Amino acid sequence: MTDIKIIRARAAAMSSIGVLINHDRESLLQIISWVEDHLIEEKVMEENAMLAANAAIRKAQYGKA
């Protein structure tokens, strides 16, 4: 994505968040919950990948790869 598209998307998101804060907090909380869950899933995948990489390195170091 180009920087302009990102800036426009960010501005649209901020505007939408402002509307939700004032008129539909329940939906905003659902969105925040979804984003938080998604970020947690990404963190878990990142940690699993790191553990797998470390295991592969250890196996390679000890000739068990």
- Look up tokens 């909380």; give the residue: 29
Distance of alpha carbon 3 from alpha carbon 32, whole angstroms? 24
pLDDT in tens, 7-63: 999 999 999 999 999 999 999 999 999 999 999 999 999 999 999 999 999 999 888
Ranges of H-type helices in the chain: 3-23, 25-61
For the chain, the structural domain boundaries read: 3-61
Query: 65 pLDDT band (50/70/90 cuts)?
Result: low
